[in-house]
Amino acid sequence: MSFIVAVDGPAGSGKGTVTKKIAQKLDFINLDTGATYRCLALEVLRKGIDLNNEEKIIELANNIDIKIDSTKEGDIVYLNGEDVTKKIRQENVTKIVSQVSAIIPVRTKMVELQRNLSKGKKVIVEGRDIGTVVFPNANLKIYLDASSEVRAKRRQKQNEENGITSNYEEVLKQIIQRDNNDKNKKVGALKKADDAVLIDTSEMTIEEVVDTIEKLILTRQENEK
């Protein structure tokens, strides 16, 4: 039975960690929408297409084959039949994915693909415009938020755990700038859907957020039986 949970929110609100944990607990597929754009970016690099040649990139998007298989060890991403799970995370892909995903016909095609990947499945998806654009008819919409100060502390801690030295004030400045950019994008802007449940995670642990969303999902599933 199809059941879609859309989770939106700003950077550092915990949505990535939370959706992974909920997917494991409730046996949902954690659909990584970003992986679809990364596949296209990888193919753009492989074909040597100029980033300013939007017509060629759109043509590529219309003829690309992307599949995502969920396993207990994580998602396996296939591009034209090839396992590119690790390759789409390479730095050269990361550098151009934002520019590729900003092309409106590309986003239209990828949204169509993401919907097809979710048909007939129990899926939890996180992003900026999942509840407003990608899955406007989602069974449950969540908007995770937290103060910019809390999110900056989380990002700084994450950096430290990864061996990256960072300054709190600089991280906070980046978070605020990122929020401004995300909310003012011409396409895929960060926005809370009118019917989304707002959860402020500022004073919550990851476990508390997971428990809260799990209860919302189970209640909604029960009500829709």
72 pLDDT exceeds 80? no
146: pLDDT confidence band, cut at 50, 70 and 90?
Answer: very high
Dist CA 106 CA 102 (whole Å): 8
pTM to 2 decimals?
0.85
203 pLDDT exceeds 90? yes
Q: What is the pLDDT of residue 199?
A: 97
Q: What is the pLDDT of residue 182?
A: 86
Q: Which domains does the chain have, with CATH numbers?
A: 3-223 (3.40.50.300)
151: pLDDT confidence band, cut at 50, 70 and 90?
Answer: very high
Residues ≥6 apart with Cβ < 8 Å to 36: 66, 110, 113, 114
Cβ pair 96, 44 in contact under 8 A:
yes
Q: What is the pLDDT of residue 85?
A: 93
Q: What percent of the chain has pLDDT over 90?
A: 68
pLDDT (average), residues 75-83: 94
pLDDT tens, residue by residue, 27-55:
999 888 889 999 999 999 999 999 999 99
pLDDT tens, residue by residue, 87-128:
998 889 988 998 898 899 999 999 999 999 999 999 999 988
Q: What is the pLDDT of residue 130?
A: 94
More confident residue, 75 or 118: 118
189: pLDDT confidence band, cut at 50, 70 and 90?
Answer: confident
Dist CA 158 CA 214 (whole Å): 25
Cβ pair 11, 171 in contact under 8 A:
no
138: pLDDT confidence band, cut at 50, 70 and 90?
Answer: very high
